[in-house]
Amino acid sequence: MNIETSAIHNGIYKDTEYSSVSTPIYQTSTFSISELGEQKEFDYTRSGNPTRKALEENLAELENGYEAFSTSSGMSAITAVLSLLKTGDHLITSKEIYGGTYRLFSSIAPQFGIEVSFVDNLNDSEVLKKTIKSNTKMVWIETPSNPLLKIVDIKLVQKTVKEIDEKILLVSDNTFLSPYFQKPLDLGCDIVIHSTTKYINGHSDVIGGVVISKTQELSKKVQYYVNCMGLASAPFDSWLVLRGVKTLPLRMKAHEQNALKIANFLQNHELVEEVYYPGLQTHPQYDLIKKQMQGFGGMLSFKLNLEAEKMNEFFKSLKIFQAAVSLGGVESLIAQPWSMSHASMSEQDRLNAGVIPQLVRISAGVENSEDLINDLNQSLKSFCCCC
């Protein structure tokens, strides 16, 4: 089945009583039994719920996984995966990962005796090989990176890691692209996670996450931790995400079209120093992008040739773009990573990572592209003499 069809039809038929086309919201904490000792598929919503199950079946299919577990946030999905590690284990990841993941790995993981190495570039196989130790149990990938849209070569990392030790788990955060544009499990990962808050739900009205594993064995472990630690998503939130995912393919196409048009506009604007978007042929990893991804996504960044003090004025004069953290919703959002998503990093770390005050990140929504470009244009106009 093609993704446009499976996103709509997967895992939604849970109403055996009335055959409703839309999955009912089983807004219940518990399920009664008719006889003592009776074993039912659902007995308590922390452990399982039909609405959540419908969403999980849908997402497992979209990522070509064995089973999915829908969680209360992207961070709880990451927590569930981190729980697969034990005291004394070693995790390798890149320095360019989502700030919340960085915080969890750098401050909480060590409290449980988990060692974490943050490498500059996972594509550097020599460095990666040298970083792998006998206690390395997991490699964490996030691609494209935030905010500079650098790409990790998933197949290369897989080959490098698995050649050394088959058992090292390869995990990929696929939030930025969604399964519509990239399928990490098909590229050799063992687990894929999402913040479903973003593209999968797509309407900026839910916080959610999902863990999808490739094998039955891994699924059992993830299920155990999600249940034990109480990480699962609530029935209503699960229902909203299930409603959202049905239009994922339509939305992703529209996000991409708008992002590409905005990137092209910005590239030709005299106040713009550099544009970072995987869909531009000038992206230094364009060949890898064409091989690994089925599309370019809706996220882009650019550097403005403006004094840092003027950045606030630029943001304030926008009328359609809303200044906000998060991404992947139908509405276009704009952010200054320096003062928003990356503010918890030290000034030097931000500068080292290329995050300067003039760097702007856009999550292109699905509005009319001309309206979006006109909005950017009118705001930029007040800063340039001849544009």
Instruction: Report d(CA 101, CA 82) in Å as an integer.
Output: 10
* Cβ–Cβ < 8 Å for 169, 187: no
How many alpha carbons lie under 13 Å from residue 235 in its C-beta half-sphere? 17
Task: CB nearer to ligand PLP: give 165 or 349.
Answer: 349
- Catalytic residue, from 89, 153, 173, 237: name it: 173
Q: Which two tokens stand for residue 3?
A: 């993704």
User: Minimal CA–CA distance to 192: which of 224, 165, 219, 228?
Assistant: 219
Scanning 103-111, 130-138, 171-179, 281-289 for contacts with ligand PLP by CB under 6 A, the matching segment is 171-179
State how far the alpha carbon of 108 is from the alpha carbons of 83, 93, 104, 236, in Å: 11, 15, 5, 30
Q: Write down the least CB distance from residue 292 to ligand PLP, Å.
A: 17
User: Read out DSSP for 243-290?
Assistant: HHHTTHHHHHHHHHHHHHHHHHHHHT-TTEEEEE-TTSTTSTTHHHHH
Scanning 70-78, 251-259, 315-323, 347-355 for contacts with ligand PLP by CB under 6 A, the matching segment is 70-78
Task: CB nearer to ligand PLP: give 176 or 321.
Answer: 176
Scanning 98-106, 130-138, 276-284, 304-312 for contacts with ligand PLP by CB under 6 A, the matching segment is 98-106
- First and final CA of the chain: distance in angstroms? 49
Helices (H), 13-69: 50-62
Active site residue 98: yes
Scanning 94-102, 122-130, 158-166, 211-219 for contacts with ligand PLP by CB under 6 A, the matching segment is 94-102
Amino acid symbol at 214? K
Scanning 95-103, 114-122, 232-240, 370-378 for contacts with ligand PLP by CB under 6 A, the matching segment is 95-103
Instruction: Report d(CA 118, CA 138) in Å as an integer.
Output: 12
Query: Which of residues 207, 229, 320, 343 is near ligand PLP by CB under 6 A?
Result: 207
Contact string (CB under 6 A) for ligand PLP, positions 172-191, x = contact: -x-xx---------------
Contact string (CB under 6 A) for ligand PLP, positions 294-333, x = contact: --------------------------------x-------
Strands 90-94 and 359-363 turn out to be unpaired
Instruction: Report d(CA 271, CA 305) in Å as an integer.
Output: 5
Instruction: Report d(CA 336, CA 355) in Å as an integer.
Output: 9
Query: Which of residues 209, 278, 298, 357 is near ligand PLP by CB under 6 A?
Result: 209
103 counts as binding ligand PLP under rule CB under 6 A: no
Query: Which of residues 23, 53, 63, 98 is near ligand PLP by CB under 6 A?
Result: 98
- Catalytic residue, from 14, 46, 162, 261: name it: 46
Q: Write down the least CB distance from residue 309 to ligand PLP, Å.
A: 28
- Catalytic residue, from 52, 89, 98, 190: name it: 98
Active site residue 224: no
Q: Write down the least CB distance from residue 205 to ligand PLP, Å.
A: 12
Query: Which of residues 24, 48, 100, 354 is near ligand PLP by CB under 6 A?
Result: 100
73 counts as binding ligand PLP under rule CB under 6 A: yes
Residues 132-151 that bind ligand PLP (CB under 6 A): 142
Active site residue 276: no
Residues 6+ apart with CB under 8 A from 59: 65, 68, 70, 179, 194, 196, 200, 210, 212, 245
Query: Which of residues 55, 59, 75, 169 is near ligand PLP by CB under 6 A?
Result: 75
What is the H or E stretch that residue 321 is in? none
Residues 111-130 that bind ligand PLP (CB under 6 A): none
- The radius of gyration of the chain's CA atoms, rounded to the nearest angstrom, is 21
Task: CB nearer to ligand PLP: give 50 or 65.
Answer: 65
Tokens 């155990």 belong to which residue?
Answer: 224
What SS3 state is found at 81? Answer: helix
Catalytic residue list: 46, 98, 173, 198
Binding positions for ligand PLP, rule: CB under 6 A: 73-75, 98, 100-101, 142, 173, 175-176, 195, 197, 207, 209, 326
